[in-house]
Every structure is written in C-alpha cells, then in structure tokens.
Structure 1
Amino acid sequence: METISFGTDGWRATLEEFTAPRVRMVGQAVATYLADEGLEGPVAVGYDAREGSRGFAEDLTRVLCSNGFDVVLSERDRPTPLVAHAILERDLAGGLVITASHNPPEYNGVKFIPADGAPALPAVTDAIADRLADPDPLPKSEHGTVREVDFADPHADAALELVESVTGSADLSELGVAYDAMHGSGRDTTDALLERAGATLERFRCERDPEFGGGSPEPAAENLAALIETVTNDETDVDLGIANDGDADRLAVVTPDRGYLDENLFFAALYDYLLENASGPAIRTVSTTYLIDRVAEAHGETVHEVPVGFKWVAEAMADHDALVGGEESGGFTVRGHVREKDGVLLALLAATMHADEPIDARVDRLLSEHGTVVQDKISVDCPDSEKSRVVAELEDVIPETVSGTAVEDVNTADGFKLLLADGSWLLVRPSGTEPVLRVYAEAADEERVRELLEAGKDLVEPLV
C-alpha cells in the first residue's frame, strides 16, 4: 500500500512496482469508495497501447464486477479523454484508465475519473488511497456484468458538434494534415476524426507499438523530427502537423513557419480564436504564459491562475464558467465539453482554426500587439521523498534579485514563482509525475530565459 500514491494525474510507476496485485488493490479501493458514496451505476474501464495495459484493465474489471458493479470496457486501447466523455455521455458512476501517458514503456499507471468526467481532486484520491485493500468479492450471484463498447464514435460526434457550434463550421476539406500518433492510442481516433471532417491525412507512427519505437510517447520537438520536416517543407501538400502523447489527452501543433509551436503560443492563439465568436475567462496554470492574460485584457476578459495539474484547471472552469482552460504542457479543453484535457478534440479545433486563418499569422499578430514572449523549462533530479523538504527549504533562500533583476513578488500557489521587475518570472515546483523538480522561466527573449533557468538551477541544486 505504501508503494501506491496518487500524484498530479493518478498513480504511475515502473513495472517493477506497478503489478497486477497492486492494480487489483486500486480496483477494490475504487469499488469500496463508490459503494460508500452510494454510487451504484456502471463503471467505465479504458486503457492505453502499452504492453500489459489490456491485462491490467481486465484485472480492474474483474474486481469491480466482483463488487457488484457493471463494467463498460473499451473494446481496444483508446485515448483517456474518450473514457471521460463516455462517463458523462452514459451517466456512469466513474471510470478507470490504465495509462502512463507520456512516460517511457517501462512505466504504467492508473487514474480514476469521477462521475463528472473531470480529473479527481485530492479529496477523492485520498479517499481511494485510504481504502486500498486486497479484493473482497461478493457472492457470485451479486456480481456485475461486463460489456465491451466502442468509445470512439460518440466522442467524435460530440467533438464535431461542439466545434461546429463554436466556430460555425468544421469543414477541413481544403486542409492537408500530417498526424503523428507516436504509436499511442490516438491512432485511428484523432486521425479518423480529422479525416471525417474532410482533411487529407498523412500519417506517422500510426501503428501500435507497445515500446513506442524505443522512446517515450512525449510530443516534444526532439521527438517529432519527421513530422516537423514534413510540415515545414514547401514541397509537400501538408498545411499543419498534429501529434498526440501516448494516451492522446495532450497535443502538439506544428506549423509551416514555426515548426514546433510552443504550447503557450498555441494557447494564446486558441483563446483569441474562440473569443471571435464567444466570451468568457480563461483558466491557466501557474506555469503557463502571461500572454494569455494580455489576450484576455484586449477582449475585456479575465484569467484565473491555478496550480499545475489539470484537476485544478477543471475545477476552476466550473467555478468561473470559463471558455477555455489549459496548461503549458499541451493539455486543453473548452466550455461545453468534458472538463478533462482532450488532445483529440483539440486536434480538430486546431485544424479548424488553421483552416480559417493560418495559425502562424494569428500568432504573429498577437506577438505584434502584445509583445514577444519566450518560455522554457528544465528538470533537476530529486527523489520523490525529498521534494517536500527541498521546497520547504527554498523559502529560506529566495533571493532579492535574480540575474540582476529585483524580485517584486513571490507566488506560492504551487512551489515558488518569482515575479521580477522586468515582467519576467522564474518558477520552481515539484513534478507530480516524475522524480524531478521543474524549473520554468518566461521572458522577452531566449537569452534571458536561459539566464533565468540557470539561476533557478543554481538555486535548487544545492538543496537536493
């Protein structure tokens, strides 16, 4: 039980720790929690493309059924947001997904999604952790049933309807899109949705490979060389590139002029685009660009900042009836959809936005109006057991200046965010998914960002 802990987005671990008996304990804990809460409806179970994920999903299914719950089991690996959508669409008691998202193949994980389809808040995951136990089956006469279903078509229907309602059209018939599934569960889902909207598709890594080609299914620039080369090549008929991470809850966008598009810039462009036909605030995490705030101000809107973790974005979206919510790591959702990050829906929305006006042109206009913004991050190795101590000790060593610029304010919503007199900022916070501390910086140019990141690294490393 001590091995199982729920971080930013569920429990993830290497396969040495992520074992079938422990997965069954999580299944029992969820079953007990749902019963204690009086939730008697069916439960969704989904899984990603990793080796063993289907087997772990079947373990969860057996435990839930033996506790009297009917289970709606995905017929194949599908993106996490499809499970979240199925929970709302089918009015389920909740759902479980076997996935380690972007982590390398030697990892797996499990996350619980409550009945509202949004990520579970700590009160819920703490309650589940308190109930970890070996399976305690009911008599066979009280066992639930299992039904395998396709989560893809209902989600695609909803995505098309939402984008059409927001933008007026989801016609991609004039658009060529290169799509990279990174061997993950976005294959035959994201590309199928784009094709259904009329786009001409060129596919990369759309075959299942549980080893992800020997790397991690993380849609970072260094992992998308072929996609970037295709989109930026003037001799191809591709207008836009899209990539998903392993469970397709996040996306990366590649444009002809910029290549890999910084997720912060995409967020700003997306919010600006949505505000053409709708209104409402944006929710961003503490690590996400202040360019979102400048776009909001230009439209007479507001921005609400939350700690890192999409559960906080989702909660704030409900509290503020927000138009869009997102984070700098490429996770977004919009009003009217499930309050879970959805790289499938956002692929359709990004392509629709690009079909209306090239994303590069919109970004150029925003930077011309609001000033250049550059952001980057690095990681400093830190064991999970030491993170709390290091962050606590940081409070005593916060400097009055960083790289020669005064610290005007310190935001402690998630780690320590140092707001500097020149408008730049430096953030240090513990990762919720890996044994590292994240150091983020934002400034007006790349050289300044590098200086700030180096200063942040120098601040943290002596404490680890």
Structure 2
Amino acid sequence: MAIKFGTDGWRGIIGDDFVFANVEIVTQSIADYMMEKDIAGRGVVLAHDTRFMTERFADLVASVFLANHIKVYRPQGPVPTPLAAFSVRELGSGGAVMLTASHNPYQYNGIKYIPEYGGPAFVKITSRIEELIDKNMERAGSKGIKKVDPSLSKDMVVEIDTRSSYVEHLHQIIDFDKIGQAGLKVVLDPMYGAGGELMALALQEAGVDFCCIHDHRDVLFGGGLPDPSEQNLGDLKVKMKEVGADIGVSLDGDGDRFGVIDSRGVYLKPNELIALFLYYLTAIKGFKKGKAVRTVATTHFIDAIAQGQGIQVEETPVGFKYICEKMLEDGVIIGGEESGGLSVQGHIPEKDGILADLLAIEVTAEFRQPLSWLLNKLYLKYGHFYNQRLDIEVSQERKRFLLKRLRTHAPKSCLGLPVVKITDLDGLKIELEGGHWFLIRPSGTEPLVRAYVEARDKGLLGRLKDYTLDIVLKY
C-alpha cells in the first residue's frame, strides 16, 4: 500500500494502514530527510493530540529517531499543532513530528512533519520524504527498521514545556489587557481535542471569565467530528445561552482550526472572520506593511477590504503550506483559507486556531458588540459576498476528463454574464463580471470534485451553484 502525504501530512485508519510498521517507515524516512539536509543534529520535537493509542505511536516514533541518534524533545501529554510548530522555532530544532489527524473522524490518525521553519512542509519536502518511504518499504521488508527503547536513552529524550513561552509570544499580537478589561463572558469548546488546555491558559492570562465544555479527553470525540463547523457546535450554542456568554470559541482536534459564535447565536464562517480580522488588523490595529494572502478557494470579500485599506492581495493554491511559503518570503499581514486556517504577521507560519479565537475575542472586546454587528457594517460598506462549497461525487474517469475539457473549452459567459478571468492555479477558477466566481477543483485522493461558488447577490448564488453542478456532471 502506497503512503502519500496529502495537503497536510499522511493520514490513515488506525489498524488498517495507520499501523506500527507503517509509522516506523514514515518516521525513518523523515529521519533520513533530516540527515540529508544536515538538520538532524538540532533534534526533533515529538508531539501528539488526544487520539486513540497516540502515546504508543509516539513512543515508537521516538524509538526510531533515537536509533538514528536524533535527540527527541517531547512535551508531556497532548498538545496542539500550533504549539508543536512554535516549539520548533523556540528550541531551534530541525523540525517536529506531530501525530494527528486534525478534524478527521476518530478512526483516523496521521503524521505531520513540520520542518525547521515552523510551518507546513512544502511539496518538494513531502515529495522527497515519499521517495524515501518507497526505499524504506524495501528496507523494512528485508532488514526491518532499527529502533532503540526510549527508556534506555534518557539523555537523548528531553522533556519540554513551551506553553508559557507561547502565551508570552501571543502578547506581541493579541491585546490581553483589552480583552481582560472588557469583562466578557466566554465559553470554550475544544471538542475533546488537544488545544483546550493551552487556550484556557491564554484566557486565564487575559483574566477572562470563561467556562468550558468538551474539555476532557475522549478518543471518540463524543461520537462526532472534532471539526468546529456550524453543524457540530450545537452544544456550544446551548451553553452560551445558559451562561449569557458574549462569545463562544471552539477548536478542532489538534487546535489549528477555529469556530466562533457571537452573542446573537450567529456562527461566523472562516471566510467572514478572515475578512473581518483583516479589517480589524489594518483599520484598528494599524497593520499596513504587507499584504493579505488567501487561497484560490477563499472569499473575495478579503480583496474588497484590502482594496479599501490600500493593501495588495495574493492568491495561492489550496493548502496552508502555500500561504506559509508567502509568509516566509514576504511581509504578510494575514494569511487565510476558507477551511479555517489562519495566521498573522509576527506569528508562526502555521495555521493557529488558538490565535484566531483570541483575535475574535479581542475584536468583540474592542467594539463591545456581537461580531455579526461588525460584519453587517462591513457588508454595508463593501457589499455582500455569499459563498458555498460543494463536494460532488464523480468517477475517476470523469474527474480526469473534466479539467481537460474545461481548459480547452472554457465557457465565455455564464448565466448571461461574461467571463472576465480564468485561472488554473489549482483546478479551474472562472470569474464573472460583477464579482461572482466559481472554482472547480478535483480531489487528489478521492472520487470527488470540490466546487466553490461565490456571488454578490443571494439569489444568484443558487443559480450559480446549479450551473456549477451541471458543469461538473454534464459538461
């Protein structure tokens, strides 16, 4: 069975493809990559979330690194991905291995390699690791992967705790005093994941009156998904109403994605929050040096606000690694993607749900109003942006044919509106006169086409969805 890295690491079903033997092979391949790049001597951070048997898998990962004479820096207990990425920079390590399947169902686990720059691995890095995996598959079949018992190499395993340093770092970005002085009531839902303890520590630092739900470990995630999208946050809404909260915030299983509900019970989509945060950072906090970076699937609401604030916008393929690349190269005020990934200037180049949730609380403290109030103010100024994502099942053959057909026979008009721009940065994006657009992007791993549509008029959104669906299935 081939082991491939997706947009954010390798993931598999526990007991099926995510098994000890494969974890050994992937770990050895990461160790080989680190030795190739001469960064193995800096050691590796080894972290994990709250999933089933994840400590056992982490012990195995440690044993492979130790057999390669690579020092292991290990937090005690589950930690979120943003803290693992921060720890890489804080310690100057050669990278981190994070055992997580993020917001996937409880049956899954995964391995994410975070290189020495503290963000997602670029394609060239994961491609090289995949090549090494193929070689180590053969090696494992004949000789096996060498391991060393961590208990016999205690001098090479260093216990770390970077939580306080992470919160101290956040003071450079988040106004803790403003949050504390606002007297807000906050409800936190970490969804049984790894981010709850660190988020609670940050809220305590700010002096916030808060309470938590789903903040204990449950490897089944309460029977649901550790995904902070609206359909999974019903319990958060109930608790907010019960305590009269000003805002409710949530995190996914490894704390790198966010979900926010305001005091009116309104769930704000990541598309809306990223645009709102851009406005707040530029108009209120005075961030002016740099640009906004968004993926090709993310709302153009960001572009409208950026134009109003006199800053540029750059578009990337889907995946936070592409935003990370821009954050390392250029001055970026905010980088975000519609799936709930966000980071800002001065922070790690990795998506961070804890940062995003704190930023949402700070905006609420600034205006002393629900976030939907500010959002509506922005809509009055810049106009509305209605958007939706569609996951459409198609055959692999249809998937291969579709983009080829669209690239050679792209429509010149849609719904009576002329096409003004076609982009093939990632899939095919067709922009129409009036600021409407749709993106067709086949999945790299599943028999799916993901379609994203955005319209400036609510009535047009439904027609654009139908049109896009017809193209995917019939064009």
Q: TM-score range by the shorter chain?
A: over 0.9
1:389-439 Cα shifts (integer Å, max 9, x gaps): 543344345333333433222111110111012321111113467653211
Residue number in structure 2 paired with 1:83: 84
CA distance in 2, matches of 1:308, 1:172: 38
CA distance in 2, matches of 1:386, 1:110: 31
1:40-439 correspondence runs (5 A) = 40-132=41-133, 133=136, 134=140, 136-137=145-146, 145-164=156-175, 169-171=178-180, 174-231=183-240, 233=241, 236-257=243-264, 259-275=266-282, 276=284, 277-279=286-288, 280-357=290-367, 358=369, 359-382=371-394, 388=400, 390-396=402-408, 398-431=410-443, 436-439=448-451
* DSSP 3-state at the match of 1:375: strand
8 Å CA contact 1:286, 1:306 repeated in 2: yes
8 Å CA contact 2:436, 2:454 repeated in 1: yes
Cα distance, 1:168 vs structure 2: 7.4
Deviation >4 Å, runs of 4+: 138-144, 167-170, 382-390, 432-435
Which amino acid in structure 2 is aligned with residue 158 of structure 1? H
CA distance in 2, matches of 1:53, 1:450: 43
* DSSP 3-state at the match of 1:118: coil
Cα distance, 1:336 vs structure 2: 0.9
Which amino acid in structure 2 is aligned with residue 112 of structure 1? Y
CA distance in 2, matches of 1:176, 1:446: 34
* DSSP 3-state at the match of 2:86: helix
TM-score, structure 2 length as denominator? 0.90
* DSSP 3-state at the match of 1:163: coil
Which amino acid in structure 1 is aligned with residue 271 of structure 2? N
Cα distance, 1:148 vs structure 2: 2.8
1:178-209 Cα shifts (integer Å, max 9, x gaps): 11111111221212312321111121211111
Cα distance, 1:458 vs structure 2: 2.0
* DSSP 3-state at the match of 1:398: coil
CA distance in 2, matches of 1:294, 1:122: 30
Count of matched residue positions in the alignment of Structure 1 and Structure 2: 458
8 Å CA contact 1:75, 1:148 repeated in 2: yes
8 Å CA contact 2:297, 2:337 repeated in 1: yes
Cα distance, 1:342 vs structure 2: 0.5
Relative to structure 1, is the Cα distance of residues 322 and 137 closer, same or farther in structure 2, using a 3 angstrom cutoff? same
Relative to structure 1, is the Cα distance of residues 433 and 255 closer, same or farther in structure 2, using a 3 angstrom cutoff? farther
Which amino acid in structure 2 is aligned with residue 58 of structure 1? D
Which amino acid in structure 2 is aligned with residue 24 of structure 1? E
Q: Does 1:14 align with 2:13?
A: yes
CA distance in 2, matches of 1:263, 1:172: 26
CA distance in 2, matches of 1:240, 1:206: 17
CA distance in 2, matches of 1:183, 1:218: 11
Cα distance, 1:17 vs structure 2: 1.2
CA distance in 2, matches of 1:438, 1:29: 31
Instruction: Give 5+ residue unaligned stretches, structure 1.
Output: none
Which amino acid in structure 2 is aligned with residue 66 of structure 1? A
8 Å CA contact 2:178, 2:365 repeated in 1: no
Alignment RMSD (CA, Å)? 2.4
* DSSP 3-state at the match of 1:413: coil
Relative to structure 1, is the Cα distance of residues 138 and 223 closer, same or farther in structure 2, using a 3 angstrom cutoff? closer
Q: Does 1:440 align with 2:448?
A: no
CA distance in 2, matches of 1:355, 1:113: 33
CA distance in 2, matches of 1:261, 1:347: 12
1:52-98 Cα shifts (integer Å, max 9, x gaps): 22222221111111101000122111110100000000000001111
Relative to structure 1, is the Cα distance of residues 363 and 293 closer, same or farther in structure 2, using a 3 angstrom cutoff? same
Which amino acid in structure 1 is aligned with residue 35 of structure 2? A
CA distance in 1, matches of 2:162, 2:446: 30
8 Å CA contact 1:173, 1:200 repeated in 2: no
8 Å CA contact 2:66, 2:147 repeated in 1: no
Which amino acid in structure 1 is aligned with residue 170 of structure 2? A
TM-score, structure 1 length as denominator? 0.92
CA distance in 1, matches of 2:132, 2:395: 26
Relative to structure 1, is the Cα distance of residues 7 and 389 closer, same or farther in structure 2, using a 3 angstrom cutoff? farther
Which amino acid in structure 2 is aligned with residue 216 of structure 1? L
1:357-401 Cα shifts (integer Å, max 9, x gaps): 132232122111100111111101357897555433443453333
Cα distance, 1:99 vs structure 2: 0.7
CA distance in 2, matches of 1:404, 1:49: 51
* DSSP 3-state at the match of 1:192: helix
Instruction: Give 5+ residue unaligned stretches, structure 2.
Output: none
Cα distance, 1:225 vs structure 2: 1.1
Which amino acid in structure 2 is aligned with residue 33 of structure 1? Y
The percentage of aligned residue pairs carrying the same residue is 33
1:208-258 Cα shifts (integer Å, max 9, x gaps): 111111121111111111223444x4x743001111111110101111236
* DSSP 3-state at the match of 1:304: strand
Which amino acid in structure 2 is aligned with residue 214 of structure 1? G
Which amino acid in structure 1 is aligned with residue 174 of structure 2? V
